[in-house]
Structure formats: structure tokens, C-alpha cells
Amino acid sequence: MTARPLGVGIVGMGGIGRMHARALDELAGRARLVAYSGGTADGEQDLAGGSAERLQPGELIARPDIDVVAICTPSGTHASLALAALEAGHHVVVEKPLALDVDDALRVARAAHERGLTVSMISQRRLEPQHVALERALAEGALGELRLATTHVHWHRDDDYYRAAGWRSTAEQGGGSLMNQGVHNVDLLRWLCGPVESVTAQSGTLSHAIEAEDTTVATLRFVSGALGVVTTTTATPPGFPATISLFGSRGSVELGQGEVRRWDVPGVAAPGTGGIPSGAAEPLTIGHAGHLAQWTRIIEALETSSPVPVGVDDALETVRLLCAIELAAATGVVVRPAELGGGRSPG
């Protein structure tokens, strides 16, 4: 007997929500979009052939035929909606970041563990072939002892981008170049290089008439002893593909978005390029291939009762690092991520 497709509800049917919907449409037979909130009634025909119902978020979360709630709303609402979905008995898929505050992320993690439910943060860039190959090379010691790691997200957003959605202009709602644009590369750096022992940072609003920062620079000291640099901005027209570079005692690598810029790793062939658009000047040019890849793994995990990709404890540690950078920039002091929000995750 074939199991029924997983029922999915999407809270927030803007541009990112529609990427999730397109990914689910390609997974028909294994997942089905049951309901969504937001968007417009005229757009229903674009969503699973018009079969999904348009509901208010509370109505959607209360639906018993929904197994997974996907949260695609502004960042400041992620934690509260994830908690509501978990309390209603649903698994959760949440766009980056899991939360804007370490304590909120801890509450989501505790709720998931207490209820035996899963939370997967969308970190689709971990699944790109270049990053998979780099993670494998690091795990096998092909780069030797890691010494320096850098990531640069030098993008451009015009004033219309900020006017289109007010939350993008405010730090309290997750706007700003670090939490909104830089989050994926910060997540990649932590995933590849391991936990961060301490952070220093500076930030400023250099180009836009917004309350949030549009440029952040941070230095990191990893637990391994390696040093790192993170720069994020939306103030560098025309916008450039984000990069990540790792330098070890035996080899070094520089990756762009869908591009291998340098691969000097003895004995390990360079991976192929993926041709993934960068979103450096326009967010939605990235397409839905990354979301499809992560949703495929999420569904496989739920079908087999195995761990979901980028689970809640993993997502929590990315929030911890992001918040450490923000706090370091705001105070000018050295911040230790592990000391934020009560320390260890609840796993």
C-alpha cells in the first residue's frame, strides 16, 4: 500500500513561498500543497493546479491534514509561527533564519524535542555540488589544517527593494545585510569550518535611508584556532556574486555562486560548476532548484524517520553566530557565541 503524500501548508505566499510551491509541485505523489496563506486569490491557479486552499495562518496551522508547515514570512515572525506549528503537532520547514534571537531559537528547539517533531531551516546552498565537495575535502583532511576562512556578500539592493516591504528596513524584523542577505554564507562558513569561539565586528548604514545596517564586517576566531572574516553589504552596485574562501596548510579553495574560482587541493579534482544564479542584484533570480533539493531530502527523512537536513539544533547555532556578530557590532566588545542564550542547545 502506498503511503499518502505528505500534506504541506505554506505560511507566506510571496516570492519565496512560490519557490517552495514550485518545488512541491515537482514532488507530486510524495508531497501535496494543501493550503497557503498570503499571496492573492488570483494566484491560486499557479499553486498545485488551484487545489490548495487560501487560508489565514491560524486556520492553516489548525488543519489536521497538514503534516508540515513551511514558514516563508518575514524573518521576525519565524520563531512564533514555528512554535505555533509545533504546538499544533506539525513538522516545520522554515526559511532562514530560524529566529532573530537566540532565546527564541532555543524555545523552538525545545518545543521540537519535547514533541518529537522536526524543524528544517532552509539552507539550500549547503547542497550545491561545490559546497558538498568542499565539505568532503575538509572532512578527509585534504586541505590540511585550516588557517583562514573568508566569505564576502557584496550585493546591491535599491531603494525600491526596501520600500516594497517595510520589514527589510528594520533590524527588529530581520532586515539588514547580515541577517537577511548574509545569512546563507555565514551558515556555510560555520558548517564548513566548525564552531566559532569569539567574534568582533563593526556595522554601518552607508547607502540606504533605513534603520537597519546595510554593511557589516566581522572577524572570527574558530574553536579550531583558524581565523575568519565575514563582510556583508547591500551598498555595492551593481552587486557581485557571494564568495567563500578557505585556506589550509595543504590547499586552498575559492568558490563563487555556482562557480569554482580556485581549487588548489592536492589529489582532489575540482567539482563541476552548477551555474546557479547569484541573486546579487535581484533576490528571486536564484530559482527554486535549491529548494527542490532540500525538500527532496526533507521528504525522504520524514518518510524514513531519519534526521532532516539542517535540523533545529544546527539552525540554532547559525542564529547564535549571527546574533554574536550583531552584538559585537553594537557594543564593540568581543562576543563568544556559546555564551549567548544560556549556552548549549537542548538536544
Q: 210 and 249: one domain? A: yes
Range of the domain at 102: 6-124+291-310
Give pLDDT, residue 1: 34
Instruction: Return the CATH number at 96.
Output: 3.40.50.720
Q: 228 and 100: one domain? A: no
Q: 217 and 298: one domain? A: no
Return per-residue pLDDT of the chain as tens, 347 residues.
347 899 999 999 999 999 999 999 999 999 999 999 998 655 554 564 568 999 999 999 999 999 999 999 999 999 999 999 999 999 999 999 999 999 999 999 999 999 999 999 999 999 999 999 999 999 999 999 999 999 999 999 999 999 999 999 999 999 999 999 999 999 999 999 999 999 999 999 999 999 999 999 999 999 999 999 999 999 999 999 999 999 999 999 999 988 999 999 999 999 987 656 655 556 555 678 899 999 999 999 999 999 999 999 999 999 999 999 999 999 999 999 999 996 455 55
In a domain? residue 143: yes
Q: 120 and 134: one domain? A: no
C-alpha cell at 110: 525545545
Q: 272 and 300: one domain? A: no
Q: 188 and 265: one domain? A: yes
- Say which amino acid occupies 216: T
Instruction: Return the CATH number at 186.
Output: 3.30.360.10
Q: Measuring CA to CA, which residue among 108, 78, 84 is closest to residue 180?
A: 78
Number of domains in the chain: 2
- The 3 state secondary structure assigned to the chain is CCCCCEEEEEECCCHHHHHHHHHHHHCCCCEEEEEEECCCHHHHHHCHHHCCEECCHHHHHHCCCCCEEEECCCHHHHHHHHHHHHHCCCEEEECCCCCCCHHHHHHHHHHHHHHCCCEEECCHHHHCHHHHHHHHHHHCCCCCCEEEEEEEEECECCHHHHHHCHHHHCHHHCCCHHHHHCHHHHHHHHHHHCCEEEEEEEEECCCCCCCCCCEEEEEEEECCCCEEEEEEECECCCCCCCEEEEEECCCEEEECCCCEEEEECCCCCCCCCCCCCCCCCCHHHHCCHHHHHHHHHHHHHHHHCCCCCCCHHHHHHHHHHHHHHHHHHHHCCCECHHHHHHCCCCC
In a domain? residue 90: yes
Give pLDDT, residue 150: 98
Give pLDDT, residue 49: 54
In a domain? residue 210: yes
In a domain? residue 286: no
Give pLDDT, residue 273: 74
Q: 50 and 139: one domain? A: no
In a domain? residue 1: no
Q: 200 and 70: one domain? A: no
Q: 175 and 85: one domain? A: no
Q: 55 and 132: one domain? A: no
In a domain? residue 78: yes
In a domain? residue 142: yes
- Please give the Cα distance from 54 to 52 (Å, whole number): 7
In a domain? residue 345: no
Q: 74 and 155: one domain? A: no
Q: 336 and 299: one domain? A: no
